[in-house]
Amino acid sequence: MSCKLSSKAKELLSKRIGLPYEKLIQMEDEEIEAYIEQKTGKKITWPKGAKVERRPIRTMEDIDKRIDEWDR
């Protein structure tokens, strides 16, 4: 995905996140998640009831639980 941000937007993001914008865009997704988790002390999770294109987001744990229910 490509988008252009103004220098003011980049400055605000850098200030909010605590990393220079140039470093942030070069980081891998896993590195960004680890940084956020380390900074906030919380694991990143999906909000309960979150949807993408009207479909509920399910974790692998949710799917495993549903499969286990089928076996009963």
Which residues of 1-72 form beta strands (DSSP E)?
Answer: 51-52, 55-56
pLDDT tens profile 49-58:
889 999 988 8
Residue pair 31/39 in contact (Cβ under 8 Å)? The answer is no
* Position 34 confidence tier, pLDDT thresholds 50, 70, 90: very high
Of 48 and 2, the structure prediction assigns the larger pLDDT to 48
Whether 23 has a pLDDT exceeding 70, the answer reads yes
The residue among 27, 25, 33, 29 whose CA lies nearest residue 4 is 25
Q: Residue 11: helix, strand or coil by DSSP?
A: helix
Q: Residue 59: helix, strand or coil by DSSP?
A: coil
Q: What was the pLDDT predicted at 2?
A: 56
